[in-house]
Structure 1
Amino acid sequence: MDTALPPALPHWLPYCARLQTRPLADIDLVVIHCTELPDLDMARQYGERELYASGTGNSGHFYIDRDGRIEQYVPLHCVAHHVRGYNPRSVGIELVNRGRWPHWLDSQHQAMDEPYSPAQLQALQQLLDSLGAALPGLRWIAGHEDLDREQVPASDDARQLVARKRDPGPQFPWHQVLSATTLQRLPGA
């Protein structure tokens, strides 16, 4: 089985052994997320929650803190639950960023104005390079918001619809990231 890729520190979730597995050759997509939580500790708490009958929960594979520290919560050969419909073929990378926290679906709280730190973006680039070297089928990159476009009733006014997912959001520097990687934006993203 695989191990953590440098420079990531392995910090496996307690339920990793219960996740479905896959051949590494099946992975062709990286999905960029933001945690929409205030810090890495809270992201870990959310990741440890068991939400499914299988005893697993929602989590990305890698988490990048604001200081550039990378932790790996799920081994690459395991299917993490991070984006509906794309999990078996993808690696989820979560950037710590408050996003819309704590009022994710409030119609008056949809701005995502926290910029990503230079250290986070540098660590992301290193991680993308490492993943590209380790996963020969890796070709595509997308944001969570590109793949989950569902609109849901706002928590403060059910007559209004808001995006269920907006991450990584408007502060994510797609041009910068794409210019430094061989990965291509997933068609339709």
Structure 2
Amino acid sequence: MPPLTRLQIIDAPLPYVAQLEARSPAQVDLAVIHCTELPDLASARAWGERVLYPSGTGNSGHYYIDRDGTVLRYVPDERIAHHVRGHNARAIGIELVNTGRYPHWLDSRQQAMDEAYPHRQIDALVALLHDLSARFPALRHIAGHEDLDRDSVAASDDPTVQVRRKLDPGPRFPWPRVLADVALQRLG
């Protein structure tokens, strides 16, 4: 196992975090890995700040890791972020900045996810997962968004074609390396 990256977390709470439902740390048993499917961290921040629900909240992960390994916390751990349907109450959402299928997420001709994840970004992810495991005794599982949301929808370019709603973190995510470096079991 490579030496652990020194973890520094920058708190940058979203404006609506006080409206997100509180939870006990004992509920957290799952880390969900996402990719932003946006070009950069600034775009991901703007997306996360969008209010989408009557509660005055929107969609966001807890942590965002930029390509250079910078780790930001947008939602406190003790709040339930909206990042994966059906699993939010038990999960920490970790977003990796990566273009994914941007900007044609649901176009059937644009489903390749070609951007590699830089080593510094994955090093920071592993360090964060070690930190979370130390702080959340029930944390035992890890999954990709694609493992938990398997729904298909009509393609934006051809409604007769179905595409996966979520593919992140995608085929370039280094699952073997991450699973070798953390003591979490993959769901899915």
Which residue number in structure 2 is paired with residue 148 of structure 1? 149
Mapped partners of 1:51, 1:176: distance in 2: 35
Which residue number in structure 2 is paired with residue 55 of structure 1? 56
Which residue number in structure 2 is paired with residue 69 of structure 1? 70
Provide the secondary structure at the position in 2 that maps to 1:162.
Answer: strand
* Residue type of the alignment partner of 1:123: A
Provide the secondary structure at the position in 1 that maps to 2:43.
Answer: helix
Q: What is the alpha-carbon root mean square deviation over aligned residues?
A: 0.5
Mapped partners of 1:50, 1:24: distance in 2: 25
Which residue number in structure 2 is paired with residue 178 of structure 1? 179
Mapped partners of 1:124, 1:7: distance in 2: 11
TM-score under structure 2 length normalisation:
0.96
Query: Deviation per CA, 1:118-171, whole angstroms, max 9, x where unpaired?
Result: 000000010000000000000000000000000000000000000000000000
Which residue number in structure 2 is paired with residue 97 of structure 1? 98
Deviation at 1:69, TM superposition (A): 0.2
Mapped partners of 2:117, 2:142: distance in 1: 18
TM-score under structure 1 length normalisation:
0.96
* Residue type of the alignment partner of 1:44: R
Mapped partners of 2:8, 2:147: distance in 1: 27
Which residue number in structure 2 is paired with residue 3 of structure 1? none
Which residue number in structure 1 is paired with residue 85 of structure 2? 84
Which residue number in structure 1 is paired with residue 8 of structure 2? 7
Deviation at 1:8, TM superposition (A): 1.1
Provide the secondary structure at the position in 2 that maps to 1:81.
Answer: coil
Mapped partners of 1:31, 1:11: distance in 2: 20
Provide the secondary structure at the position in 2 that maps to 1:93.
Answer: strand
Aligned residue pairs: how many?
Answer: 182
Deviation at 1:7, TM superposition (A): 1.8
Deviation at 1:41, TM superposition (A): 0.1
Mapped partners of 1:171, 1:7: distance in 2: 25
Mapped partners of 1:74, 1:105: distance in 2: 27
Runs ≥4 in structure 1, deviation > 3 angstroms? none
* Residue type of the alignment partner of 1:96: V
Mapped partners of 1:137, 1:42: distance in 2: 33
* Residue type of the alignment partner of 1:9: I
